[in-house]
A and B are shown apart, each in its own frame.
Chain A
């Protein structure tokens, strides 16, 4: 258990900047995820933390000691790799024992520790098996047990679940969190899977183009994204054009109706902005719906229904309100999540009116979030 600090870390490969001005403090026993698309620099940052890459500038500090120039084998960090990296010539038990043998621990202590860890990870029955005789999930458990065996100050997980199938992935991520909380190991998890990051992290670092886009708790990142990139990258997000009437007063207009909403400071009066709202926040309106209470409405034609289990996602093409000159209709399909039991009320081709809960939304500058092409690309998650 250690405190890890990355201070102004910078790394360039050729003329390509991989990581720029990365600064982060990870507290004792905290699990922090680095989340971002491929090539955003998250793995490079992790590898610099581990010592497999040297930063061009900046430093890596563990418990107040600068370890930037220490080789990986002297940093005392455990690492789990995407491809397991188990030693193929050793059994599960021998793999777990490897780090203890390197540290020349007494034989009795090693045996006890290996047995304890194999038990903790549910691997006792494969102790004598070689990696190629084990399933992907078992191999990754051995890799975890091996990394934890040396009681590392910091545990680094490099996309540890991307090579296992979906069911095992869910089991393992819960197990990782359980183990991490139980052993109180300071942990960094690199992942491109937002559900993985949101479900088991204390904090999430969203990265883009080598820089930190945003740091926050999973709830903050999901519910109150501060950047357009985060909003577009985390979960599904609708972007509805609105005209900013007053930035300071938080007044926006759409469909001839003016309402108050949280407006980003960089927007100027009279500009078009994008109102961000999650699919589950859009509420279908029916004859019995209550007053609009200062919210906006939007009418669309259902184009596609996607069954997601408890909910069904409806993709709407907006039907422009006649004579509305305040804001153009949304060019992208809008996602609305409704309980699957009631989804039959809106078959493909039918019209649907939804309430946009304006006060729970945010209005940001009017470029498409994350620079993504037209929907439904950002509605998959």
Chain B
């Protein structure tokens, strides 16, 4: 587990509990017949489980060991390290700000696209998946050139430097946040709900905050988790722009205290999973997340 990124696992897990996916699963369960699980399915499951669990086991075996027997000492050492505290604080701070920014920008944008500018959907979708096409390293180089010390807009050397990283994180989270919120918006009839609220006298802002936001709360929680985990696990931008975030710290500590590093990787992995499980619990308990549709439209 030398790769300090925790994004991949968390993202997949969070996508699995997006509202749309949820609904499909429920539909499949509702119509499916009980059949015996075929042997090949069990084989695939076992192979996949081994593929994913073996690295975890290896990480644990290395991190919680003196080389001969089991010990939690590397974990205690890692947790006591000053660099661990400062880097974790930095990552959590930047990730929270990124998450708030992502929700505040993406949710109203996706709402307006759905309600007022449906023709812009294709363009907006294309823009939001650009981070999949443009590697973070290109973005890092671009940001260094445009906002670097030789640029007229020198952000890197100013007090506003974190804006650069948070802005980069925001862009990187777009494919996940837009999709999660857009899925939730499409699961409710945004146009009809908005018109109903307007007919009752609600302003567009009130309609968005009091009707739309609660109706897509599950999508917003998913988007928040996706944004947070993406930012928490991001390595390339932070490293190249010179920020000592948690993933950068993990890579560094792996170089000189590998057992402590692996123990902390495992801790971060389980923290992420706790978040995903918490999200699933919230999803089940959120009232009114069921889709309400009248009938033929």
Binding site for B on A (CB under 8 A): 50-52, 71-74, 76-79, 81-90, 98-99, 102-103, 130-132, 136, 139, 146-147, 150, 156, 162-164
Q: A85–B202 contact, CB under 8 A?
A: no
In chain B, positions 107-166 with a C-beta closer than 8 Å to chain A are none
Residues from chain B with Cβ under 8 Å of A85 in the complex? 189, 192-193, 195-196, 294
Interface band, chain B: 20 to 34
In chain B, positions 176-199 with a C-beta closer than 8 Å to chain A are 188-189, 192-193, 195-199
Residues from chain B with Cβ under 8 Å of A102 in the complex? 200-202, 206
The 9 A-B pairs of least Cβ separation, nearest first, read A83-B294, A163-B295, A99-B200, A89-B214, A85-B196, A89-B288, A79-B199, A132-B290, A163-B294
Instruction: Give the Cβ gap from A292 to chain B, nearest Cβ, in Å.
Output: 48
**Cα-based distance from A76 to B297 in the complex (angstroms):** 25
**Cα-based distance from A89 to B189 in the complex (angstroms):** 13
**Cα-based distance from A102 to B293 in the complex (angstroms):** 24
Q: B295–A73 contact, CB under 8 A?
A: no
Partner of A130, one of B193, B197, B211, B287: B287
**Cα-based distance from A86 to B294 in the complex (angstroms):** 9
Q: B201–A81 contact, CB under 8 A?
A: no
Q: B217–A72 contact, CB under 8 A?
A: no
In chain B, positions 48-103 with a C-beta closer than 8 Å to chain A are none
Instruction: Give the Cβ gap from A93 to chain B, nearest Cβ, in Å.
Output: 13
Residues from chain A with Cβ under 8 Å of B45 in the complex? none
Answer whether residue B203 sits at the interface, using C-beta atoms and an 8 A cutoff: yes
Task: Identify the interface centre among A74, A81, A139, A146: most chain B CB within 10 Å of its CB.
Answer: A81
Q: B195–A52 contact, CB under 8 A?
A: yes
Residues from chain A with Cβ under 8 Å of B291 in the complex? 88, 132
Residues from chain B with Cβ under 8 Å of A132 in the complex? 288, 290-292
Contact A82/B196 with A87-B215, A102-B202, A131-B292 known, Cβ cut-off 8 Å:
no
Closest residue to A143 on the B side, CB-wise? B196
Contact A150/B192 with A82-B295, A82-B297, A88-B291 known, Cβ cut-off 8 Å:
no
Answer whether residue B38 sits at the interface, using C-beta atoms and an 8 A cutoff: no
Q: B195–A87 contact, CB under 8 A?
A: no
Q: A89–B206 contact, CB under 8 A?
A: no
**Cα-based distance from A136 to B287 in the complex (angstroms):** 19
Contact A150/B288 with A82-B295, A85-B192, A87-B193 known, Cβ cut-off 8 Å:
no
**Cα-based distance from A78 to B196 in the complex (angstroms):** 9
| Additional A-B contact list (13), CB under 8 Å, known A77-B199, A89-B215, A98-B200 | A72-B198, A73-B202, A78-B200, A82-B295, A87-B196, A87-B214, A88-B188, A89-B211, A89-B217, A98-B210, A102-B206, A131-B288, A164-B295
**Cα-based distance from A173 to B195 in the complex (angstroms):** 23
Q: A83–B293 contact, CB under 8 A?
A: yes
**Cα-based distance from A72 to B201 in the complex (angstroms):** 7
Closest residue to A85 on the B side, CB-wise? B196
Contact A162/B295 with A88-B290, A102-B206 known, Cβ cut-off 8 Å:
yes
Residues from chain A with Cβ under 8 Å of B239 in the complex? none
Answer whether residue B296 sits at the interface, using C-beta atoms and an 8 A cutoff: yes
**Cα-based distance from A353 to B108 in the complex (angstroms):** 70
Partner of B198, one of A73, A90, A130, A164: A73
Q: A84–B292 contact, CB under 8 A?
A: yes
Contact A72/B195 with A81-B294, A89-B214, A102-B200 known, Cβ cut-off 8 Å:
yes
Residues from chain A with Cβ under 8 Å of B211 in the complex? 87, 89
